[in-house]
Amino acid sequence: MDERLQRSAAAVAEAGADWLVLTAPDAVAYATGHVVPIEAGPSPFAGGPTLALVGRDGTAGLVVANVEAGAAARAWVDQTVVYEGYGFEQPAPYPQNYQTAV
């Protein structure tokens, strides 16, 4: 487990919580190693912000749009849920996809 993920899990335990929920790009990157693409701001095709969850035991997960799937594969998480946020053949219902993935 990466030291930053370990520190995040320790903070969850110290707070007496079960899970840490992160959506700020810097916080997601710190805890999971996943760098959220922010060059042009949040993707208009995302149903919501990239979401990271860190449990008190160090279990971690991500919820990302399909355009982030490649980068998310390099994160220090146990599970990544990828939802369809962009469809080139037809519009995707990305807000509903995001809600379902979360």
CA-wise closest residue to 48 among 81, 78, 77, 17:
81
Per-run averaged pLDDT (10 residues), the chain, 102 residues: 93 97 95 84 81 96 91 91 84 90 94
pTM of the model: 0.88
Residue 66: CATH number of its domain: 3.40.350.10
CA-wise closest residue to 29 among 57, 54, 58:
54
Gap between the Cα atoms of 77 and 71, Å rounded: 12
- Domain with 21 in it: 3-101
- pLDDT attached to residue 57: 96
Structural domains counted in the chain: 1
